[in-house]
Chain A
Amino acid sequence: MIKARVTVTLKNGVLDPQGKAIEGALGALGFDGVGEVRQGKVFDVEIDSADHARAELQLKEMCEKLLANTVIEDYSIKIA
């Protein structure tokens, strides 16, 4: 069993109103020195295989086809 973590984040330059709201809320809680906050998504994906190379290819395809909208989002894949 392969366990992978896919992280999807907004591309640089894409406005993130949710991140901005969180940034403001952190400031309101009294955390000082907080710079920009960007919100993203994390997917933990299990793949029933021992073939890491193939799993990585599959995960990349999953990102391109569904997990990320590559118009606005970047993704990264980490296999445990």
Chain B
Amino acid sequence: MKSAVVLLPGLNRDRDMIAALTKVSGNPPLTVWQTDTEIPDVDLIVIPGGFSYGDYLRCGAIAARMPVMRAVAEKAAKGVMVMGVCNGFQILLEAGLLPGALMRNASLKFVCREVKLQVANANTAFTRNYAHGQIIRCPVAHHDGNFFADAETLSRIEGDGQVVFRYAEGTNPNGAINDIAGIVSTSGNVFGLMPHPENLIEDAHGGSDGRALFESALGIAA
């Protein structure tokens, strides 16, 4: 499978994401720049984490209006898999490709630590190599990861199995409603996650709990 990573000024996890995709798939991903209006034919588009546009206005707000995001939306509408991590998740929400919003952490503090995640839906293209209910370790590093959706949206995404990962064992680092850490679109091909699975894919990272996410998304058998 071929993948592409979206690059925007202010992102800082792009190198980690490229390394993870390269290590798991054996091939380096293509990269696309914010002003690109077309994305080459790939199976997976990834928006990494960081602080695009310095988080000005709202996290991800400016990035979501850049030309490359129109191209991402077109690909998503055609069924191409799209994954946003951390700032990438914020960008997907601001672009309207996923429901809800990510607000300032309830503690008002930047959190950089390891949390536990529970796989709330293993029946997605991004989590099929995990077991339903499995608890994994995953690092987080963010200031605005407090997922919020109005009551109607929340009941819809909960009812449709769109919640893919939840913070588990009391490790919710940001006050996210229903402990939501990651969600998928109704179409199933757009996925956003606040924690950083790309930073836990090999022994040198201290564990490889995030690897199955990349293997799932890249169509590699467990």
Contacts and interface: CB of A to CB of B under 8 A. Distances in A.
Whether chain B is bound by chain A comes out as yes
B70 interface: no
Contacts of A21: 108
A66 B100 contact: no
B106 A17 contact: yes
Contacts of A79: none
B85 to A, nearest CB: 20
A15 to B, nearest CB: 7
Nearest to B151: A13
B142 to A, nearest CB: 14
A69 B148 CA distance: 12
A69 B150 CA distance: 13
**Could you say which of B58, B61, B94, B150 has the most chain A C-beta atoms within 10 Å of its C-beta?**
B58
B108 A15 contact: no
Nearest to B177: A15
B154 to A, nearest CB: 12
Contacts of A71: 93, 99-101, 148-150
Interface residues of A, number: 12
Interface residues of B, number: 20
A17 B57 CA distance: 17
B123 interface: no
Interface in A13-27: 13-15, 17-18, 21
B61 A15 contact: no
Interface string A58-80: 00000001110101100000000
A19 to B, nearest CB: 10
A41 to B, nearest CB: 8
Nearest to A70: B101
A17 B104 contact: yes
A40 to B, nearest CB: 12
B61 A69 contact: yes
B105 A17 contact: yes
B104 A72 contact: no
B103 interface: yes
A13 B65 CA distance: 27
Contacts of B175: 15, 17
Interface of B: 57-58, 61, 65, 93-94, 99-101, 103-108, 146, 148-150, 175
26 contacts: A13-B150, A14-B103, A14-B148, A15-B103, A15-B106, A15-B146, A15-B148, A17-B104, A17-B105, A17-B106, A17-B107, A17-B175, A18-B104, A18-B108, A65-B65, A66-B57, A66-B65, A69-B61, A69-B94, A71-B93, A71-B101, A71-B149, A71-B150, A72-B101, A72-B103, A72-B148
User: What 8 pairs between A and B have smallest CB-CB spacing?
Assistant: A71-B101, A72-B101, A17-B106, A17-B108, A17-B104, A21-B108, A69-B58, A69-B101
